[in-house]
Structure 1
């Protein structure tokens, strides 16, 4: 695998196909997006408000993951719910009526609109600021920053792509600029839909270091497209306690279908937060800086599918609350895979139905239908994710850690030799950044 690894996720919304679009047509040979920027307004959000937002987004995170894993029960899977909910929050800013209420329910929004967008503003600033004040003492002792990538990076950025000539409401654009960053990129879907699609894909690729190269497939953008709202999250980090590559050895992994294969299994003796809850082993492997970590949960043997069905925000909370520092061996396979999915059906199952119905959608908060010649609705929602984990973390640039020798043999506190779940979360806020599962480690090492 490539030694420069990144965990990168992006999601996009094609928020509308206008009937009878009357925008002027101008062909663009070269299309580029404005540089990503932080939201224009500095929010005033207290801890209770931010906690309420995170509780709702985490509930949506695991609800969405449950819908997606049901569709692909035998596949490895990863999704970034924070990326999806930020893109959808920008769409929600222009929603009204029943469409708005369905979105609030499906996405777990409980704050009033002003507080909601301000809280997303604060959360984006908080998450994107992780690593800016990284203490060198938190780096592995062998880390050499000569030609290596930075040991920790987390960024969330947004971009808005709208048909030129369409009179989008000032209130809508102002909300997006103030709380989500990035101004409106005026493009011409009518005359140059594929050129715009390629420009959007190029922006996503640039924000994710080419890990997500084609979020929008051919044909996804048409002359009837009016607005595309995109979010990209880029995360790369070294483990606080790197695994020693010399201790990575072949080991058996039992896949979900019961077949056994030989995989490269990392192993280390380490003191990390760990717990056994409801029969499942759980450890949280921190990244440098300690503000983020990967929670790995190995359900009881033979019970993965039943356990996964009940892996909700309450169960996640019980696991996190039970974590206590323990010393022992952690065995975790190296893995690398990507997930591509469309979110319309999962979102409809969660209750967000009107947004996708051209006759029922209410997005007049984006633009006045009487002035645009048609009704806006959400056409498609694309979501791509990529993950690679090895001895150094989710960015394999740092040197391997030194081997610690002890007189006595510590116990094994995690043995991921069968299907497991993983959650990458921001520890201070509790925000779920990514959630996934590995049910076939052999397929994730090809």
Structure 2
């Protein structure tokens, strides 16, 4: 998780799916080296022509009305009314991402636009995220703002009983703890132990079993911080797939203890994306978004990701907003027994769409807030 590089001990929560789909929409209008770098960042360079169709197919699957979970995605482009955009870009955005288009006056009415944007976000994230655009974010140089609002709600296949939740200590590191409400249940769950990372993995399905939460819990706090350093160093996308493969997991009757928690995070992704070799998009001397306007007059000035998650006895609720701004260029805790899974120290968690094996959300819980 690249977001953890500058935050070794804090909580993290984000949506790889939401960030990727927002960047893919932007890539529709990218050309030349800008498009190449974005494609490599999205790991889509070998299927540029298909990546948008793949997102559209996945969105259709996740948003289908009969799904046993709620997954809503709303995309909107705010464009400066005096700045023309190519019909191809607008048509493709609508076709693949169901993007709404709003023509607005950034030059003289940016405050009105800001209020409208925040109202739209609040409406499309069931009130979980109320304000994403600050007073200084929009100005007369703004030409295009892209928003992706994603909301997920999944009920556990087997609820935690409210009556079994109890007060406990959550160990931040070996000799430091904070109080937490600990949820408790016993039942049959898929699990495994990864010796090379010294961690347990538990799969907790949501109703319908199409979506699951996968929790990676170190068996002990081995370092002087959160105990996650070894796991995060070992974990790669390839190992994630191998470790969580159904053939690797075994079903056991397990005593599960999981803290009730709520996280709300905001990330400026410019630095993270630049570190992943997506640099030209942010450089007004090199960027090429001529597929949007027909001219090389747009620069990607800001990519913001806001995330909210609430995990409690009945369900998990997660909400995300991605924003892309374009401007005119001018003590040791041992838990070795697989029959218990007691998450009373820092862990990683992922929410996966099982039919496609796509990671919808990812996070690190280190400290109750």
With normalisation by structure 1, the TM-score equals: 0.74
Tell me the distance in 1 between the aligned counterparts of 2:93 and 2:160.
42
Does 2:206 match 1:290? no
Tell me: CA distance 1:411–1:68, structure 2 relative to 1, closer, same or farther (3 Å).
closer
C-alpha separation between the residues in 2 aligned to 1:383 and 1:257? 32
Which structure 2 residues correspond to residues 15-414 of structure 1 after superposition, within 5 A? 66-129=1-64, 132-134=66-68, 152-256=69-173, 258-278=175-195, 279-301=198-220, 302=222, 303-321=227-245, 322-369=248-295, 375-394=297-316, 412-414=339-341
Query: Contact 1:190/1:223 (CA < 8 Å) preserved in 2?
Result: yes
Kept after mapping to 2: 8 A contact 1:215/1:383: no
Post-superposition Cα deviations, 1:194-239, rounded to whole Å, max 9, x if no partner, equal: 2212211211111111111112222111111111111111011211
- Bigger share in strand: 2
Distance 1:258 1:171, change over 3 A: farther
Unaligned stretches of 5+ in structure 1? 1-65, 135-151, 397-409
Gaps of 5+ in 2: 319-336
Give 1:258 deviation, angstroms.
Answer: 4.2
Separation in 2, partners of 1:327, 1:361? 55
- Is the contact made by 1:193 and 1:222 (CA closer than 8 Å) also made in structure 2? yes
Residues 348-400 of structure 1, C-alpha deviations (whole Å, 9 max, x = no match): 0000000000111010011122xxxx71110001110011111112259xxxx
**How many residues of Structure 1 are paired with residues of Structure 2 in the alignment?**
342
2:327 corresponding residue in structure 1: none
Aligned to 1:63: none
SS in 1 for 2:5: helix
CA distance in 1, matches of 2:293, 2:67: 41
Aligned Cα root-mean-square deviation (Å): 1.8
Q: Is the 8 A contact 1:92 1:103 kept in 2?
A: yes
Inter-CA distance 195–258: structure 2 relative to 1 (3 Å threshold): farther
1:303-353 CA deviation, whole Å, 9 max, x = no partner? 411211332211211221122222111111111120011100000000000
Instruction: Choose between structure 1 and 2 for higher RCO, CA contacts under 8 A separated by at least 6 residues.
Output: 1
